[in-house]
Amino acid sequence: MGGTLLGGFMGGILARIPIGFALAAASVVALLLFTDVPLNIGPQRIVAGITPFPLLAIPLFILAGALMNYGGISRRLLDLAESIVGRIRGGLAQTNVVSSLFFGGLSGSAVADVSSLGRILIPAMRERNYRAAYSAVVTAVSAIITPILPPSITLILYGVVTGTSIGQLFFAGLLPALLFVAVLMLTVHLTVNRIGMEVPLRGETAQPLPDRQIAKFLPSLLGALPALMLPVIILVGIRGGFFTATEAAAMAVVYSLIVGFLVYRELNLRTLVAALKSTVQLVGLIMLVMSAAQLYSWALTSERIPQALAQGMLDITSNPILLLLLINIMLLFVGMFIEANAALIILVPILLPIALDIGVDPVHLVIIIVVNLGIGLVTPPVGLTLLLASEIAGLNILQTLRTLLPFLAAILGYLMLITYIPAISLWLPQTLF
């Protein structure tokens, strides 16, 4: 049955069938061939997979991010990021990284990050003499920050699947996200003049940023402050026990409406409808994949395949260092082919028992999983954020691979730090909870 599940799914992917339908079809075929389970179990599992109340936080946080974006936040976040890092080497590339940090704390979706910021930053980088491939790669890689930061959709989903406190998961992502930003900024600093610019320059762009950039910091901060307060309200509210993660998502929507209509005054009926439309489209896609992945995971579990795989890994070695390395290799490979949220639902039943057996905290495990699957967002053949950024830059994804290599090396080094230094992920949640 395991071979049918895997072969059917991979066949669907190769046939370019949408991932949700490929997961569901492989599950139904395997259940029909190898079990006596009635067919009506399939729809029941699909619906049951998306009915837990905490999952309501996902569409609400996506809506809050969309309201902020259509309410004028993208431009203000870019202005703030440029006023902070715009004058250092690779200023606009550094702005790209810092903007993803700010925007990721609002959207919860890496694809939404690239779609919103990439359409602004990639053309701007091209105008300032950055290579098209470099512009696309920086934009795509920076978006990996988003799944690590609260209110990450992936963190919420892991909390629902495992019963782990979503509040702890949100705080666990903060230090790893900041470390990731530092790693990317260092990588940009080291690579921008060698592979980033059309013509190597002593400065960072062909059109140096004006001296007034420093003077712009305070006005930019004041302009972006209402939006930057949103993740603060979420984290403080959850930590203070004022509301749950789902209630925090509802508060985020109310706050976004207030900021968009009354503070920035760029939200109106037309932009509100556009925000709702984009939210419905993204949520529909995510829920389709999640529900199909729940059925796929249930089919695996019904045949005790996760337990067999977990035992197989433990039979290879019981050394925690080697097991964590094997987990990383598995996740990196899976992330190349399967969307992150679907992969998480499928793999957590396999990886969690192994992690517990070798003494890895479930909160630490999710950061390892999220970073690995985030790397999958920039590695072909799927590579959703790299694909989208390449399309915005007018490139084929293959034209970006050479430029991606130094960034990929830096991210893999960062992954090793996250994997083998648990305190990076656990210090904040253990201190605050």
Highest-confidence segment of 52-61, 130-139, 153-162: 130-139
Number of structural domains found in the chain? 1
Please say whether the beta carbons of 347 and 334 come within 8 A: yes
For residue 14, is pLDDT > 80? no
pLDDT mean over 355-377? 93
The pLDDT-based confidence of 207 (bands split at 50, 70, 90) is very low
pLDDT tens digits, one per residue of 61-91: 888 888 887 887 777 888 888 788 877 777 8
For residue 376, is pLDDT > 80? yes
Highest-confidence segment of 5-19, 330-344, 404-418: 404-418
What percent of the chain has pLDDT above 70?
A: 95
pLDDT tens digits, one per residue of 245-285: 888 889 989 998 998 898 888 889 999 999 899 889 888 88
Please indicate whether residue 129 or residue 308 has the higher confidence score (pLDDT).
129
pLDDT tens digits, one per residue of 212-241: 555 677 888 888 888 888 888 888 888 888
Q: Which residues constitute the domain of residue 403? A: 2-432
The pLDDT-based confidence of 139 (bands split at 50, 70, 90) is very high
pTM of the model: 0.84
pLDDT tens digits, one per residue of 89-115: 778 889 889 988 888 877 677 887 887
pLDDT tens digits, one per residue of 278-314: 889 888 888 888 888 888 888 877 777 777 777 788 8
pLDDT mean over 202-209? 44
pLDDT mean over 341-365? 89
